[in-house]
Amino acid sequence: MRKNRLVMVAMGAFALTTLTQCFTRKKDEGKRLYEQHCQSCHMEDGSGLKGLIPPLAQADYLQTHRDELPCIIRHGMDGSVVVNGVEYNKEMPGVENLREDHITNLLNYIQTNFDNNNERYTMQEVEKLLEECPPHR
């Protein structure tokens, strides 16, 4: 009886350790994706590049264009954009190969960092918004 209990405790500890590592990697995925795909233009602190690249830090655009953000991440954008009252007109490349879960994690990282306190996305919301993206040129 005592041996079975010890085995169960050991199995429980192993499962908990494994799950914790799994969730920790997922938790940091948005940050890693930002560093890999966005940071070189939008800067480490989300401040953008004055006059050229719009900021993500405290950016009103994140709330006023929420439904467009998944498509912008995937397909990029060109043309004029106004962020916090400043006009920017620099093409942003998309990242076509990001999966829906990557886009969700990336957006949630941006929405909740850089002094942003915006509503998080769900996977279902991002999937739906990506289905509705205008055709890519």
Does residue 123 lie within any of the structural domains?
yes
Q: Is 6 inside a domain boundary?
A: no
Question: For position 23, what pLDDT does the model report?
Answer: 45
Q: Which residue has the tokens 């962020």?
A: 83
* pTM to 2 decimal places: 0.80
Let me know if residue 12 belongs to a domain.
Answer: no
CA dist., res. 55 & res. 99, Å (int) = 24
Half-sphere exposure of 57 (CA within 13 A, CB side): 14
Residue 105 lies in a domain: yes
Query: For each successive 10 residues of the chain (137 residues), what is the average pLDDT?
Result: 61 53 65 97 96 96 97 96 96 95 98 97 97 78
Tell whether 1 is covered by a domain: no
Residue 39 forms part of a structural domain: yes
What are the counts of helices (DSSP H) followed by strands (DSSP E) for the chain? Answer: 7, 4
Angle, CA 34 vertex, CA 66 and CA 17 arms, to 5°: 110
Q: What is the pLDDT of residue 134?
A: 79
CA distance 66 to 122: 12
What's the domain count of the chain? Answer: 1
Give burial (CB, 10 Å; 0-12/13-18/19+) of 120: exposed
Given this model, what pLDDT does residue 13 score?
Answer: 56
CATH value at residue 114: 1.10.760.10
Domain membership of residue 110 as a residue range: 29-131
**81 lies in a domain?**
yes
Within-domain flag for 15: no
Phi, psi for 135 (deg, rounded to 5): -55, 140
Report d(CA 99, CA 12) in Å as an integer: 32
